[in-house]
Amino acid sequence: MIKELVLSLFVWISAQTGHNVNIPIPEIRFVTSERLVEIWELNNGPSTSLKVRAMYFQRRTSPFGILYLSLDLDFENVSDREYLMHELFHHVVHVNRIEFSCPGEEEAAAFSLGRAFWAEQGLPDPFEQRDQLIEENGRCK
């Protein structure tokens, strides 16, 4: 099931961005939410309020990364499918070596894609901070 969902999200990402998605599916590892936070903190430093549901880890020594997904994800849930789509966008960017001015700009593009994802579902975007995060990340400090 996950492979079919990933492939359908690849097609959607390509339709929205024009990016090549004729690429390998990332290695996918399902882990506990606690383990996701540990992995995130190893790469980004400690956080007291972090809630991680999915994360794409870019390997610098390989063109392919690892997609970590929480065991708690339910892909029947639109929010959880958006988490997957968001991280797959990072995989598409990494494999295609698409350059952004800064890491925040890539994150802003992923959040903008999330807005389009909700619109296509015909549902209101439940992520109230999306506009703020797009603006803050897109500024390249």
Q: What is the pLDDT of residues 44-86, one digit of tens each?
A: 777 666 678 899 988 777 678 899 999 999 999 999 999 999 9
49 or 88, which is more confident? Answer: 88
Cβ-proximal residues to 76 (8 Å cutoff; 6+ apart), any chain: none
Across-strand partners of 56? 67
Q: Any idea what the CATH number is for the domain that residue 35 is in?
A: 3.40.390
Domain that holds residue 107: 2-137
Which pLDDT score, from 0 to 100, does residue 139 have? 82
Number of domains, the chain? 1
pLDDT tens string 97-122: 999 998 889 999 999 999 999 999 99
What average pLDDT is seen over the chain?
Answer: 90
pLDDT of residue 137: 80
Nearest alpha carbon to residue 93 among 116, 114, 70, 63: 63
Show Cβ contacts of residue 100 under 8 Å, excluding neighbours closer than 6 positions: 93, 106, 109
CA angle centred on 50, ends 17 and 112, rounded to 5°:
20
The first and second tokens of residue 132, run together, are: 């703020």
CA–centroid distance for 25 within its chain = 14
User: Do residues 27 and 66 make contact, with C-beta atoms less than 8 angstroms apart?
Assistant: yes
**Contact (CB, 8 A) for 68 and 31:** yes
Q: According to the model, what pLDDT value does residue 32 have?
A: 94
Give residue 102's pLDDT. Answer: 87
Q: Following CA atoms 105, 12, 125, 40 in sequence, which dihedral angle do they give, to the nearest 10 degrees?
A: -50
pTM: 0.91
Rounded Cα gap, residues 76 and 81, in angstroms: 7
